[in-house]
Structure 1
Amino acid sequence: MTATQKLPRRSRTKKTAEVDVTKITKLIRLLASDRDGEVLATVSALKRALAAVGKDLHDLANATETGFKPPAPPPHRQVTWGPPPPRPDNWQSMAWFAFHRRFDLCTEDRGFIEDCLLGTTFRETDDQVMTWHLERLRRIVAIIQAR
């Protein structure tokens, strides 16, 4: 005879069942009785009901404690509008970043950004983005980020 066969039938069942909330609630309400015997019987019944699902009074106290706490406020997420931070090796991301914040720029830089996005800046270099274009865009982005 193995060890599990010696245990009573109730103890051999796997404890994967969920807590019967209505039963626990009824038992807790019975604790308000003015009769001592009824309260003691209720405590025993409550312990048995919790033990049937692998819980004890400490688990019930923890559940009660978390239930009485006010819900935590949702984490504050800062909403950012606009394009993502620019990549210094991509002229389009820098141009769109600067265009979104174009009112922080002087008129000359604002015109340069608009011409970049329209493609008219690159006409004089056979539609090639030159290193001096990238340097100017990086300078403009640095001005915006410094503000």
Structure 2
Amino acid sequence: MKKKLSFVMLCFSVILFAQHSDNKKNQIDQKLVGSWKGEEDDQQIAGMHKSWIMHRSDDGKFLLLFVAVQDGKTTTFTEKGQWWVENGKFYELHKGDGKTDVYDYKVLDENHVKFKASQMSLEQNNENYEFIDTRIEE
């Protein structure tokens, strides 16, 4: 019984070490954790207004809720994925299509973060795509 318990403890230790190692690769900027909102007009698609709420967890997961309005038609959709920062850039891996968007980012204050597209997975109307996320008070 002792050997079995020791083996189980060893397995848990290996799993925890592997998870800890993954966390080192994908760094989390605690200033970006929480719920945020933003909006933009005509930046990704001409004639489209897009607004969103994004929740970034401290485990690197995100949930993104979009509302897009174009030509009087409203569309809503959600995206899930992983986020992290590396070398001063913000990475957003989208679970649905497996593609990653990369942004330069600057924390303006505790409630505002400016993002500027560095490498986008989808073609943009504006190669200088940028926006500001505002923290949602909880």
- TM range, normalised to the smaller chain? under 0.3
Larger C-alpha radius of gyration, 1 or 2? 1
Q: TM-score, normalised by structure 1?
A: 0.19
Structure with higher helix content: 1
| Greater relative contact order, per chain length (Cα 8 Å cut-off, separation 6+) | 2
Q: TM-score, normalised by structure 2?
A: 0.20
